[in-house]
């Protein structure tokens, strides 16, 4: 799509860096779009975390990181704006009008979490962008009610997670599925300078939250695999509300010496670990993936996870080439398959091609532009 949009566009919010690659790709396509991030914010929702080699131990509080350190090797693009949102007992009205004033400078707003709450009062056309927030709409509080109203007032909602489509249907919201954008120039296979001294390296980067991720299911399966394959290791990212439960399970199974605990990592470090690994473990409950699976797939790595065949076929028209496993038996079988380097190579190549076809910049941006144009031309 080559038509230039004659409108001022801005993405507000960048939860888990879901907006930054989109706005960058729009800019690369000569579309004048802006990005608004805010502080304080969790470091995972900042472009610095996506692009810079950062040590989580250097940045201070990850929910309110040190911006001097974040910006040490980061050149802020002119189209990125930072909302320094005031905090405290009497700050909410001030924060509200600060965001509304910023929004009213644009013709079309793409409101990522939590900005649909604000966009409904902006007197501007807006699209809500949902990367799973609707899963938590069962909470009976004012914030959730404002979120629901924000979604209902949207021109349309861009949905990235196939499993949530049932919820959108239940609420009667207007939505369109658009995959996450993966920068395949950055997320790609690259031979690491130094391999780990293990035959098989499995990596579980998802946060420790058993209810959604099913981390315990994979750990139990790895325990069974490790009985026969002692020269294997499981790398686990040391974060999430169930971290203590995960550590207790590892201790109970007596596999502590075969676990590598890793800190929360910025994306350049995460890419290195994708490339160090035999295969990646994502999640085993929801039936959809976020960005971890396609990032790893772009690095030509097999991803072991559970996908709902019904929802993913509805979203993509076919099933992504993950190693689809929901229970311990299925996971263990795929772990055993991954001992065959020819198998992992074939799956890795298919995975890369899938990401290029469905999550590549041009593909995703064209889907975004088609949605924007329908709204702007009305």
Model confidence over 91-116: pLDDT tens digits?
778 889 999 999 999 999 999 999 99
Segment 31-45 mean pLDDT: 95
From 4-8, 195-199, 211-215, the region with the lowest mean pLDDT: 4-8
Q: Do the domain assignments include residue 26?
A: yes
Q: Model confidence at 3, in pLDDT bands (50, 70, 90)?
A: low
How many Å apart are CA 241 and CA 213, to the nearest integer?
11
Same domain? 14 vs 156: yes
Q: Within this chain, do residues 157 and 13 fall inside the same structural domain, yes or no?
A: yes
* Dist. CA 348–CA 342, nearest whole Å: 10
Residues 163 and 212 grouped into a single domain = no
Q: Give 89's pLDDT tier (boundaries 50, 70, 90).
A: low
Residues 134 and 267 in one domain: no
Does any domain span residue 172? yes
Residues 177 and 208 in one domain: no
Reply yes or no on whether the pLDDT at 374 is more than 80.
Answer: yes
The first and second tokens of residue 207, run together, are: 């946060």
Tell me, what's the pLDDT at 377? 82
For the record, the structure tokens of 95 come out as 């924060």
Q: Let me know if residue 190 belongs to a domain.
A: no
Q: Is residue 276 domain-shared with residue 291, that is, in the same domain?
A: yes
For 296, the token pair is 């790893």
Q: Is residue 2 part of a domain?
A: no
Instruction: Indicate the pTM of the whole model.
Output: 0.94
207 and 157 together in one domain: no
Residue 186 lies inside a defined structural domain of this protein:
no
Judge whether 22 and 363 are in contact, CB under 8 Å. Answer: no
Is there a domain that residue 187 lies in? no
pLDDT of residue 255: 97
Tell me what the mean pLDDT of segment 75-95 comes to: 85
Q: What percent of the chain has pLDDT over 90?
A: 90
Q: Are 87 and 40 in a shared domain?
A: yes
| Residue with the two structure tokens 């038509």 | 3
What confidence score (pLDDT) does residue 1 get? Answer: 40
**How wide is the angle at C-alpha 339 spanned by C-alphas 337 and 343, nearest 5°?**
55
Q: Are residues 81 and 152 in the same domain?
A: yes
- Are 297 and 263 in the same domain? yes
Give 139's pLDDT tier (boundaries 50, 70, 90): confident
Render pLDDT for 260-270 as a digit per residue (tens, 0 to 9): 999 999 999 99
pLDDT of residue 60: 93
Domain with 133 in it: what CATH number? 3.40.50.2000
Task: Say if residue 38 is in the same domain as residue 104.
Answer: yes
Residues 253 and 339 in one domain: yes
Domain with 314 in it: 200-358
pLDDT for the residue 2: 43
Whether the predicted pLDDT of 8 surpasses 80: yes
- Distance, CA of 315 to CA of 359 (rounded, Å): 13
Q: How many domains would you assign to the chain? A: 2
């Amino acid at each position: 799509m080559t038509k230039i949009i004659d409108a001022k566009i801005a993405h507000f919010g960048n939860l888990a860096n879901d907006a930054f690659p989109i706005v960058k790709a729009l800019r690369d396509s000569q579309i004048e779009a802006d990005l608004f991030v805010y502080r304080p914010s969790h470091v995972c929702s900042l472009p610095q975390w996506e692009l810079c080699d950062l040590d989580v131990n250097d940045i201070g509080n990850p929910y309110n990181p040190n911006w001097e350190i974040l910006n040490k090797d980061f050149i802020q693009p002119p189209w990125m704006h930072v909302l320094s949102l005031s905090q405290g007992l009497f700050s909410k009205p001030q924060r509200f009008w600060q965001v509304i004033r910023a929004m009213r400078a644009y013709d079309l707003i793409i409101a990522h979490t939590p900005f649909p709450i604000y966009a409904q009062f902006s007197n501007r056309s807006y699209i809500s962008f949902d990367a799973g927030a609707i899963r938590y709409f069962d909470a009976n509080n004012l914030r959730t009610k404002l979120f629901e109203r924000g979604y209902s007032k949207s021109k349309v909602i861009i949905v990235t997670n196939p499993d949530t489509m049932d919820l959108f249907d239940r609420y009667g919201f207007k939505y369109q599925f658009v995959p996450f954008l993966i920068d395949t120039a950055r997320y790609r296979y690259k031979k690491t300078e130094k391999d780990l001294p293990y035959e098989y390296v499995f990596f579980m980067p998802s946060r420790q939250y058993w209810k959604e991720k099913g981390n315990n299911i994979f750990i139990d399966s790895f325990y069974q695999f490790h009985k026969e394959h002692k020269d294997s290791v499981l790398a686990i990212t040391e974060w999430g509300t169930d971290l203590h439960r995960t550590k207790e399970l590892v201790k109970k199974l007596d596999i502590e010496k075969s676990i590598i605990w890793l800190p929360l990592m910025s994306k350049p470090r995460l890419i290195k670990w994708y490339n160090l690994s035999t295969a990646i473990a994502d999640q085993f409950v929801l039936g959809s993936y976020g960005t971890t699976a396609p990032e790893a797939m772009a690095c030509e790595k097999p991803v072991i996870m559970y996908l709902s065949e019904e929802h993913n076929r509805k979203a993509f028209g076919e099933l992504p080439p993950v190693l689809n496993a929901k229970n311990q038996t299925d996971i263990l079988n795929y772990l055993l398959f991954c001992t065959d380097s020819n198998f992992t190579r074939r799956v890795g190549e298919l995975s890369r091609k899938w990401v290029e076809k469905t999550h590549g910049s041009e593909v995703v941006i064209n889907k975004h532009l088609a949605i924007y144009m329908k709204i702007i031309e009305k």
